[in-house]
Amino acid sequence: MHILIVDDEPVIRKGISKMAERYVPAFAKVTTAGNGQAALEQIRMMEPDIVLTDIRMPKLDGLELCRILHEEFPQIKTVVISGYNDFSYAQRCVNYGVKHYLLKPVTKTDVHEALDRLVKKQPAGYIAPSRYMEWIELMEQHIWSLQTNELLELSERWREYCLSANLSLAQLKELLFDYSEMLLKRFRARNFTPSPDLSFQQAGTVKDALDAFEAGLLGIRDGLASMRSGNFRDPMEEAKSYIDSKLSEEITLDQVASMVGLTPTYFSSLFKKITHETFVKYRINRRIDRSKELLAVPHIRIVDIASEVGYDDYPHFTKTFKKLVGVTPSEYRASLGIK
C-alpha cells in the first residue's frame, strides 16, 4: 500500500512521515507533498491508497483537495489533520467522504490508530477503474514510442499496485487477460496487430503471472520495433520539426500530440522530459532563434520578421525578444553592424 502525507510545514510533514514508516504492516511507499497542488499532481501520477492531509495549506487547501479526491478518486481513503480552531472547518470534509480527523499536535498513537481503521477496511482484490485505464493508456504510449525504460518503470509500478491490492491468482489472471485484450485493441486501431502473449494464464503464482505479463509487453515492443525496421522516427524529433515548420502559426499542443500519435497529457510529459522545456517554452525559444536569423538579413523589416515568427502584435514581440535576448530587436540588429 502507498500513503501520501500532505502538509506545508516541513517539520510536521517529516514527523508524520516517520510515524507512517513505523506502522506495521509496513507501507510499500510513504511519500510527501508540501501543498495540495503538489499532492494532486502526485496523486494523478501514482494513485496512493491513503492520503493524510493538513486542512490549511497554500495553493490548494485540504478541503478542496478532499473534494477533488471524492469526485475523481473515491476509492482513496482520506484522513484530515486540523488545528483546534480549524476543526469545524475540517468537518465540512464529511461531505467528501472523510471519516477520520486528527487534531494537532498528532502523536504516533493517533496516526497508527487511524491507519488501523483504514487498513482493516481496505477491500481485497480491488483495482480502481481510474487507475486501470491510466495504466493501459500509459503502457500503450510507452510501447508506441519505444520508450523501454519508461515501460519497465511503469510495469514495476503496476506490479506493486497489483500486489498491494491483494488479488488472488485467479483474479489477477482475469485482470491481466482483460488488460491484454484492451491493449491489443488499441494497437489494432493504430494498424498494428501484435501476437497476443497469454502465457500468464499458465502461471502458478502471482509473481510468475506478473513476470509473464511484463515479458509479453516487451514482446509487443520488440514486434513493433521489428515491423518498423529502423524506419521509425522518434516522435519528439518529429514533433520538434513540425513545431519549427509552423512558427508563424498558432498550433496547439493537442494538434502536435495528435500528429505524432500520442495523447496530449503523455506528449506534454514526454516532450518536457526529452527537451527539458515545456511545449510553450520550446516554441517561444524557437521563434526568437528564428527571428535572430532573420534579423541578420538587412532588407527584411523587423515588423515583418515579427509576423514571420508568429507575432502579429509587434510590441509583444519586442517585449518577448528583449526578455530572452537582453536587447530589443533593433538593438540586436545594430549589434550585427546593420543599420
Q: Which three cell numbers stand for residue 238?
A: 518529429
Residues 151 and 218 in one domain: yes
- What per-residue confidence (pLDDT) applies to 124? 56
Residues 27 and 97 in one domain: yes
- Ordered DSSP codes for 89-100: HHGGGGGGT--E
Q: Which three cell numbers stand for residue 151?
A: 515501460
In this predicted structure, the answer to whether residue 339 has a pLDDT above a threshold of 90 is no
Cα angle 168, 42, 113; round to 5: 60
Q: What CATH code is carried by the domain that includes residue 286?
A: 1.10.10.60
pLDDT per residue as tens digits for the range 105-127: 889 998 998 888 887 655 555 66
Residue 294's domain spans which residues?
A: 235-335
- What per-residue confidence (pLDDT) applies to 101? 83
Kind of pairing between the strands at 29-33 and 50-54: unpaired
Cα angle 278, 284, 287; round to 5: 140
**CA 7 to CA 19: how far, in whole Å?**
14
E-assigned strand segments in 19-58? 29-33, 50-54
Q: Are 256 and 279 in contact (CB under 8 A)?
A: yes
Q: Which three cell numbers stand for residue 273?
A: 522530459
Residues 172 and 220 in one domain: yes
> How far is residue 278 from each of residues 83, 240, 272, measured CA to CA in Å?
39, 12, 5
In this predicted structure, the answer to whether residue 232 has a pLDDT above a threshold of 60 is no
pLDDT per residue as tens digits for the range 134-160: 788 888 888 888 888 888 888 888 888
pLDDT per residue as tens digits for the range 176-189: 888 888 888 888 88
Residues 276 and 221 in one domain: no
Q: What CATH code is carried by the domain that includes residue 63?
A: 3.40.50.2300
Bond before 105 cis per omega within 30 degrees = yes
Q: Which three cell numbers stand for residue 234?
A: 522518434
Q: How many domains does the chain have?
A: 3
Average pLDDT score over residue span 279-285: 91
**87: burial class by Cβ within 10 Å (0-12, 13-18, 19+)?**
middle
Residues 196 and 271 in one domain: no
The SS3 call for residue 274 is: helix
Question: Residues with Cβ < 8 Å from 7, sequence gap 6 or more?
Answer: 13, 16, 32, 34, 53, 54, 57, 81
pLDDT per residue as tens digits for the range 19-70: 998 888 778 789 999 998 999 988 888 888 899 998 888 888 888 888 888 8
Q: Which long-range contacts (CB under 8 A, 24 or more apart) does 20-23 make?
A: 20/52, 20/111, 20/115, 22/108, 22/112, 23/111, 23/112, 23/115
